[in-house]
């Protein structure tokens, strides 16, 4: 868990240092025991989301709001700094570690753990898994397929640790093949065709391996979803589809279907799948040369979400879409916790009541709190008295710390 956070020149935050209560245990999903929870509340544009962003940066080296890290740098020219203290549990041992992130304009992010540089983003991401539930979570249902691929890959990465290295190799092969397709189109290099054939074989082999990991993770995750459904799950005509009942009004008979972006049959051996995929690529070769990019493969995978046989995003309200997305993220965190080799995730929830009524928001918060190792929540409320009852009651819980955020500053709220 995270026990302290320091931000300097981080967006509108000038200089902030805050400590969070440490706990010897995290939430218990089997009993509903809550995890340590931190609640930030305040009026609009006071810095609540910025605090979550700083926490996310520490654990991933990335922002969940922007892909341009220079945007995190505040008005001062010297760059921004984020530091924090982590309490990590390995077996029965718990140890404290110091993590830091420094970013100057037009320079690479400098990350360190206990004073030593962190060279791999994958190594950083494995320290403590982190999941975000915010207004962008809607995109899991409403957004482009890439959002849902990242959802799958997040789970696969934390369940099968070799997946990160495999994915990086596959993406490199895809990039090389796309570059060669453009070279062949221009016809300027004599060896272009030969290199394209070699990289096509590498790309096909790695694509099958990526799809195999995604298939395994989807099978585990969807089986877990089925086990949580009040009525159980009912497999559809293929093993790639599972229909589930999420136990919430308006979200019954939801189905998830994994499409890999190329011909993939989980029952076939890898060697045969590679051969089939190479034939598919050969048939599309001329089209791909014209396009200058690879048309088939894991980069075109899709997690299709239907409700009562119709595309979910076309028939659900925005509130239902957010609830569906939040429940899928919740169950992903829960499932990760059941994997004994995976650490429980930290969950960041931004504006818990946005587009959810208080009853559903309270239920979601309770379930998240019992599934993760630590929960951070923001809420829109100028004063403590403006908080909805289920959030106001958090201040009385022994495992909760409440902070009022105003003008980029933070003030701890004393328990009643």
Q: Which domains does the chain have, with CATH numbers?
A: 2-129+343-412 (3.40.50.300), 145-314 (1.20.1050.90)
Instruction: Compute the average pLDDT of residues 390-412.
Output: 86
Query: Which residue from 349, 413, 346, 347 is spatially nearest to 386, judged by alpha carbons?
Result: 413
Question: Is the sign of the CA dihedral 146, 149, 155, 157 positive or negative?
Answer: negative
pLDDT band with cut points at 50, 70 and 90 for residue 65: very high
Confidence at residue 234, expressed as pLDDT on a 0 to 100 scale? 47
Strand ranges, E, within 66-209: 80-90, 93-103, 110-113, 116-117, 130-133
CB-count burial class (<10 Å; 0-12, 13-18, 19+) for 210: buried
Enumerate residues 6+ apart whose C-beta is below 8 A from 292: 178, 181, 182, 185
Grouping H, G, I as helix, E, B as strand and the rest as coil, residue 191 is coil
> In angstroms, how far is CA 331 from the centroid of its own chain?
12
DSSP 8-state assignment for residue 35: P
Number of neighbours of residue 128 by Cβ within 10 angstroms = 22
Q: Which of 51-55, 63-67, 235-239, 275-279 has the lowest mean pLDDT?
A: 235-239
Q: Which of 134-138, 265-269, 337-341 has the highest mean pLDDT?
A: 265-269
What pTM was computed for the model?
Answer: 0.89
Question: What's the first-to-final CA gap in the chain, in angstroms?
Answer: 25
Distances (CA, A) of 120 to 102, 117, 155, 172: 15, 9, 19, 16
The per-residue pLDDT of the chain, averaged, comes to 88
Confidence at residue 189, expressed as pLDDT on a 0 to 100 scale? 63
Q: Any bridge partners for residue 13, and if so which?
A: 10
Tens-digit pLDDT profile for residues 134-186: 888 889 999 999 999 999 999 999 999 899 999 999 999 999 999 999 999 88
> In angstroms, how far is CA 88 from the centroid of its own chain?
20
């Amino acid at each position: 868990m995270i026990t302290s956070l320091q931000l300097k020149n981080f967006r509108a935050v000038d200089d902030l240092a805050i400590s969070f209560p440490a706990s010897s245990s995290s939430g218990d999903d089997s009993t509903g025991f809550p995890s340590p929870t931190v609640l930030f509340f305040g009026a609009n544009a006071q810095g609540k989301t910025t605090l979550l962003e700083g926490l996310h940066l520490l654990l991933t080296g990335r922002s969940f709001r922007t892909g341009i890290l220079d945007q995190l740098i505040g008005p001062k020219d010297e760059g921004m700094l984020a530091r924090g203290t982590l309490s990590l549990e390995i077996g029965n041992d718990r140890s404290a570690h110091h993590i830091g992130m420094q970013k100057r304009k037009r320079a690479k992010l400098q990350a360190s753990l206990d004073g030593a540089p962190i060279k791999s983003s994958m190594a950083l991401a494995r320290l403590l898994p982190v999941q975000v539930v915010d207004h962008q979570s809607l995109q899991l249902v409403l957004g482009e397929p890439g959002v849902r691929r990242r959802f799958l890959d997040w789970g696969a990465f934390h369940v099968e640790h070799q997946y990160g290295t495999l994915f990086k190799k596959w993406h490199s092969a895809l990039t090389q093949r796309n570059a060669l397709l453009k070279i062949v189109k221009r016809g300027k290099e004599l060896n272009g065709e030969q290199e394209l054939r070699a990289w096509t074989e590498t790309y096909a082999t790695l694509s099958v391996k990526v799809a195999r990991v995604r298939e395994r993770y989807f099978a585990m995750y969807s089986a877990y979803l089925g086990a949580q459904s009040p009525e159980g799950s009912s497999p559809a005509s293929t093993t790639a589809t599972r229909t589930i009942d999420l136990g919430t009004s308006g979200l019954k008979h939801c189905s998830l279907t994994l499409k890999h972006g190329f011909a993939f049959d989980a029952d076939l051996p890898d060697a045969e799948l590679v051969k089939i995929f190479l034939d598919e690529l050969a048939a599309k070769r001329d089209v791909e040369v014209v396009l200058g990019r690879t048309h088939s493969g894991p980069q075109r995978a899709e997690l299709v979400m239907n409700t009562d046989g119709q595309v979910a995003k076309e028939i659900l309200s925005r509130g239902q879409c957010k609830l569906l997305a939040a429940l899928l993220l919740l169950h992903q965190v829960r499932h990760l916790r059941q994997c004994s080799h995976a650490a429980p995730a930290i969950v960041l929830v931004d504006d818990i009541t946005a587009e959810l009524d208080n009853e559903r928001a309270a239920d979601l918060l309770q379930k998240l709190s019992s599934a993760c190792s630590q929960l951070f929540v923001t809420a829109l409320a100028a004063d403590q008295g403006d908080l909805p009852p289920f959030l106001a009651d958090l201040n009385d819980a022994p495992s909760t710390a409440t902070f009022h955020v105003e003008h980029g500053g933070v003030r701890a709220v004393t328990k009643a």
